[in-house]
Amino acid sequence: MHSSEAHALCHHCMNCKVRIETVYGHEIEGTIVHLDDANVYLRMPGRALLGDAIVDDHEQYRPYYGHGNQDVILTLSLFLLLTIVLL
C-alpha cells in the first residue's frame, strides 16, 4: 500500500478500532487516535503485550506509555502498513 493510500484510509478510520497488518506480517489492533504525514498512532489497552510479538530488532513500532494511564500509544510508520481493517 502506498503511504498516501494508507494516510487516506487512516484518516477515514480516525477514532475507530482497527486491525493493521504490517509488511512484516505483524497484526496489531487498536484505535487510531492521531495521524501525521509519516505515522499513524494507535491506542492499545495496557494489557496488550508489547514484547517480541510486536517490537522486533529494527524497532519499527515504538510504544509510548502515558503517565497514570493503562493505555499505550503505538507509533507506526505509514510505509509499513499493508492492510487496515475496520473492526
- String of DSSP letters for 6-50: HHHHHHHTTTSEEEEEETTS-EEEEEEEEE-SSEEEEEE-TTS--
For 56-81, how does the pLDDT look when each residue is reduced to its tens digit (9 = 90+)?
Answer: 444 455 555 555 557 788 899 998 89
Cβ atoms of residues 13 and 31 within 8 Å: no
Residue 47: pLDDT above 60? no
Top pLDDT among 1 and 5 is at 5
Domain ranges of the chain: 3-86
- Percentage above 90 pLDDT, the chain: 40
pTM, to two decimals: 0.75
Q: Does 44 score more than 50 pLDDT?
A: yes
Q: Which CATH architecture has domain 3-86?
A: Roll (2.30)
